[in-house]
A and B are shown apart, each in its own frame.
Chain A
Amino acid sequence: MELTGAQMICECLVREEVEYIFGLPGGSTLPFYDMLPQYPQLKHILVRHEQVAAHAADGYARASGKVGVCCATSGPGATNLVTGIANAWLDSVPMVALTGEVVTGLIGRDGFQEADITGITLPVTKHNYLALDAADLPRMIREAFYIAATGRPGPVLIDIPRDVFQQKTEFVYPEKLELRGYRPVSHPDHEHIDRAAELINESKQPLILAGHGVIISQAYDELRELAEKGNIPVITTLLGISSFPGSHRLCLGMPGMHGMYWNNMAISECDLLIAIGMRFDDRVTGRLRDFAPGAKVIHIDIDPAEIGKNVRPTVALEGDAKAILKELNDQVESREREDWLAHLDELRREHPSITIRDTAKLLPQYVIKTIYDASKGDCSVVTGVGQHQMWSAQFMWFDKPNSLFTAGGLGPMGFEVPAAIGVQVARPGELVWSICGDGSFQMTLQDLITVTINDLPIKFAIINNRHLGMVRQWQHLFYHDNLVATPLKNPDFVKIAEAYDILGIRVTDKHMVESAVYRAMEHPGPVLIDFQVEEHENLWPMVPPGAALQETMDLPKYEEERVVAQA
């Protein structure tokens, strides 16, 4: 059967069971868009900026478990995807990006809207393709989806010149993949697992560090079994939040730069770290030299390049977390570890890092906690990047697996609107809260129209402190409070909501918070709440950049010092 390149792409996307494509058309992708009405199973969600397409595909992928698909035209369309692709790369999110390209004869000749997108995305994709012959498209698409979804997931880009979309040739769907250089999953030897079990059984003060890999591999039950069997407390990294029930007696919350003080001390005191699907990011470890000085390390990761990259493990287990934990759990012996748990409880009591000050002022922490409590945790939460993101990670103790969606590695502001679109598309009927920073929100707010048009009942909560809050905090602490370019003069967010036909609510006082949150949850459509919170609220605890976890500045102690200094 002879088909055009564009038809082949549609045929292949259908075979990959793609339901949604987030995109924005342009000259080079027109032949593809021309074909879409013939494939109603491929639902296209039009965005207003390609960065949104990529982040939405990212949110969709994280929430649905499927590969997210985004599409952009050549040149600026493709370059606008790059932030979203880089984010998916750093956070291991399966994504296929389709980009148009100038006609093959113009490639390399600075054609109109030409950008070397395969060159540009080389360091931020698992793999990418430039299709120069339509006959290659079926194989490329099949490989792209396979590569994106298997092993450590990640983004794959296919660049397709306009004439290749139009080229007619025999459609041959590859039944077998031949990727001789791609080995997505290995499994460790028994001896290594034996050794790891031995270390765990011997350990008096073990800790689990659970990362995104637990969620990707859906190893929730296995992680829980390991923790409960050995009475091993679980620390969840930012992307590991919701891999272990937040209300569980063994859940300790987040570590690192803005993690709980007790966690940073626990890491510094433990004799064994069991790191599962996490990569010892600098925001987790603080100064590497002083990280977990007394601990042996078991590192479980699917990506061999993560083993030994930052922390050299005592035992490395390369492979899928679920498969490894299943095998490991058989050999882990029941232990009480009462002394260790009691010690951690005491740490927690002495340094209650994340209490909310008792004040009549409207505190951002209070808003976030109220949202979570009102939702009773039965919701999906998306955040932007900044203080509000960290407060969400601190004050929302998710019980539901895979329910926090946040951009960890790249930290792109503007994630909260597009990712919430993707999450709500993947989870219709779910209560989706998008916790926004007032700065972060304004990077992608144009796509509120996408929310309205597609009837997505997302609840946006802007934690509006009229500042680029995280940067302001750093200026305050490390640059003598010299607030350069961080105070924001904001638009009227309620009016913006109304302009997009979204219910807008303004909250200026603490006593208004609860009713606004309930009103938003009861409203069937999208809602935007502008929470005008305290301007200069700082985020605690904090490990200063470059410092060790042992140097964590905890909330109450620091606040006292500041008061003394002012007096």
Chain B
Amino acid sequence: MREIRQHIIIALVEDKPGVLNRIASKWRQRGFNIESLAVGHSETAGLSRMTFVVDANTDAEQVVKQLDKLVDVVEIRDISDENVVSRELALIKVKAAAENRSLIIEIVNIFRAEIIDVGPESLIVEVTGPDDKIDAMFDLLKDYGVVEIVRTGRVALLRGVASSTPGLHELAEEPFERYPEGETPYSSE
């Protein structure tokens, strides 16, 4: 096992009101801080995919198991140990007086970032990449005066053809019997 810096956890969840609260509540109960969280629609209607990033010291195994018990969590997996690509997007508003402008543009070009808004005294830069790239760019731009930065949080997928959440398709087709083995599993006699 590689030494991991952070846990990246991917979950496929029902797109319903209150689901985020249920999930956040499990993290809160154990006192864990989420470093970043990104949510959006998945390829399946009615399901959202979430990417959590949490500190490496977190007992991720236990939280993943607890989250997996939530009815609204269809699948969840810690992919920190696996071959993943992960990206994050940031918008950085930076002060850009005339004398600095070309220097900033140079940095933007080196980072293959983009300037998406130009004002008389500021620029907004859009940068995408692994989080350390965004950190590096932020550090460089700090010298010119960063007004504000907003980050999406990381999103991640497994490399290759495998789905990050492979169980979904087999599950969706499995019909549910009323009670397994035809009885309530809980009886006194």
The interface of chain A, by Cβ under 8 A from chain B, is: 61-67, 94, 118-119, 122-123, 126-127, 130, 143, 146-147, 149-151, 153, 176-185, 216-218, 303-305, 307-309, 320, 401-402, 426-427
B15 to chain A, nearest CB (A): 12
A309-B62 in contact given A123-B29, A185-B180 (Cβ < 8 Å): yes
A234 to chain B, nearest CB (A): 20
Q: Are B71 and A402 in contact (CB under 8 A)?
A: no
Can you list 30 residue pairs at the A/B interface with Cβ under 8 Å? A65-B184, A65-B186, A65-B189, A66-B184, A66-B187, A94-B184, A118-B18, A119-B21, A122-B25, A127-B72, A146-B179, A149-B179, A150-B185, A176-B175, A176-B176, A181-B14, A181-B71, A181-B73, A181-B75, A184-B180, A185-B180, A216-B185, A217-B185, A218-B189, A303-B69, A304-B65, A304-B68, A308-B61, A320-B185, A426-B188
Q: Which residues of chain B are within 8 angstroms of A183 by Cβ–Cβ distance?
A: 171
Q: Are A61 and B18 in contact (CB under 8 A)?
A: no
A117 to chain B, nearest CB (A): 13
Closest residue of chain B to A184, judged by CB? B180
Q: Are A401 and B72 in contact (CB under 8 A)?
A: no
Closest residue of chain A to B65, judged by CB? A305
A64 to B188, CA, bound (A): 6
Q: Are B21 and A61 in contact (CB under 8 A)?
A: no
Q: Are A402 and B188 in contact (CB under 8 A)?
A: yes
A505 to chain B, nearest CB (A): 30
Closest residue of chain B to A147, judged by CB? B71
Q: Which residues of chain A are within 8 angstroms of B74 by Cβ–Cβ distance?
A: 180-181
Q: Are B71 and A150 in contact (CB under 8 A)?
A: no
Additional 20 contacts, C-beta under 8 A, given A218-B187, A305-B65, A308-B61: A65-B184, A65-B187, A66-B186, A94-B184, A122-B25, A127-B70, A127-B72, A146-B178, A151-B185, A153-B186, A176-B175, A176-B176, A179-B176, A180-B168, A180-B172, A181-B13, A303-B69, A305-B62, A305-B68, A401-B188
In chain B, positions 1-59 with a C-beta closer than 8 Å to chain A are: 13-14, 18, 21-22, 25, 29
Q: Which residues of chain A are within 8 angstroms of B152 by Cβ–Cβ distance?
A: none
Chain A CB within 8 A of B102 CB: no
A127 to B188, CA, bound (A): 24
Q: Which residues of chain A are within 8 angstroms of B186 by Cβ–Cβ distance?
A: 61, 65-66, 94, 149, 153, 216
A118 to B188, CA, bound (A): 30
A427 to B189, CA, bound (A): 11
Q: Are A305 and B66 in contact (CB under 8 A)?
A: yes
The interface of chain B, by Cβ under 8 A from chain A, is: 13-14, 18, 21-22, 25, 29, 61-62, 65-66, 68-75, 168, 171-172, 175-176, 178-180, 184-189
Q: Which residues of chain B are within 8 angstroms of A146 by Cβ–Cβ distance?
A: 176, 178-179
Q: Which 7 A/B pairs are nearest by Cβ-Cβ distance? A: A65-B187, A305-B65, A181-B74, A177-B176, A127-B71, A402-B188, A65-B188
A177 to B171, CA, bound (A): 12
Closest residue of chain A to B184, judged by CB? A149
B13 to chain A, nearest CB (A): 8
A23 to chain B, nearest CB (A): 21
Q: Which residues of chain B are within 8 angstroms of A307 by Cβ–Cβ distance?
A: 65
A127 to B25, CA, bound (A): 13
Q: Which residues of chain A are within 8 angstroms of B184 by Cβ–Cβ distance?
A: 65-67, 94, 149
Chain A CB within 10 Å — which of B171, B176, B179, B189 has the most? Answer: B176
Q: Which residues of chain A are within 8 angstroms of B22 by Cβ–Cβ distance?
A: 122
Q: Are B71 and A182 in contact (CB under 8 A)?
A: yes
Q: Are B71 and A126 in contact (CB under 8 A)?
A: yes
Q: Are B72 and A181 in contact (CB under 8 A)?
A: yes
Q: Which residues of chain A are within 8 angstroms of B29 by Cβ–Cβ distance?
A: 123
Closest residue of chain B to A151, judged by CB? B185
